[in-house]
Chain A
Amino acid sequence: AQSVTQLDSQVPVFEEAPVELRCNYSSSVSVYLFWYVQYPNQGLQLLLKYLSGSTLVKGINGFEAEFNKSQTSFHLRKPSVHISDTAEYFCAVRVRGTGGFKTIFGAGTRLFVKA
């Protein structure tokens, strides 16, 4: 069975500081990897995804993530955060099965950017 662990439930950080949100997954089969962001009372917005190819993927709003197969990790990074980055971030894996795809989400990391 697949699982996704987001290692930090909350990450406070000062504005303009760098941030890393950690995500580890377990799966015995190949997965697609995603980061989504959710602002209050809104849906999930796709930040970036890894399907294949280069292990460093760049997304919207200056975020990037690196797929590390040996460590089964997909950590999200941003070199300099803004107040507007305050939101909840979800890591997800998507696996192809006999009945189509299945998505497993992490519990989320709440990023709080302080002035």
Chain B
Amino acid sequence: KAGVTQTPRYLIKTRGQQVTLSCSPISGHRSVSWYQQTPGQGLQFLFEYFSETQRNKGNFPGRFSGRQFSNSRSEMNVSTLELGDSALYLCASSSTSGDTQYFGPGTRLTVL
């Protein structure tokens, strides 16, 4: 089975722009979670989608949003980018049982 894929792998944006990141889960997985990883804050949970519905949300401003499509692919959007949004964004998928998360390679976002 193919693993979790994320595109693009690297992005460079400037302050004020917006960005969309994409995640394709493992085939058959319906849950997709997003995390932000920075050296200072570590791994922080953004949100989780299950069957196109947001099931959980972390403590991030409304500039961070996401959605999930009927094929379980998920996108994450960040509007009005700030320098502090520079991070590695990780996507993870899990099966219906939900007990184990499998991570993608991440998207490295740099905001200049």
Contact = CB atoms under 8 A, between A and B. Distances in A.
B105 A43 contact: yes
Given A43-B90, A107-B42, A34 B100 contact: yes
A43 B100 contact: no
Nearest to A94: B99
Interface residues of A, number: 22
Decide if the interface of chain B is mainly helix, strand, loop or mixed: strand
A43 B106 contact: yes
A96 B98 contact: yes
A44 B88 CA distance: 11
B63 interface: no
Contacts of B90: 43-44
Q: Of B4, B43, B99, which is in contact with the most chain A CB atoms at under 10 Å from its CB?
A: B43
Contacts of A102: 45, 56
Interface of A: 32, 34, 36, 41-46, 49, 51, 90, 94, 96, 99-103, 105, 107-108
Interface of B: 4, 6, 31, 33, 42-43, 45, 48, 50, 55-56, 88, 90, 92, 94, 98-106, 108
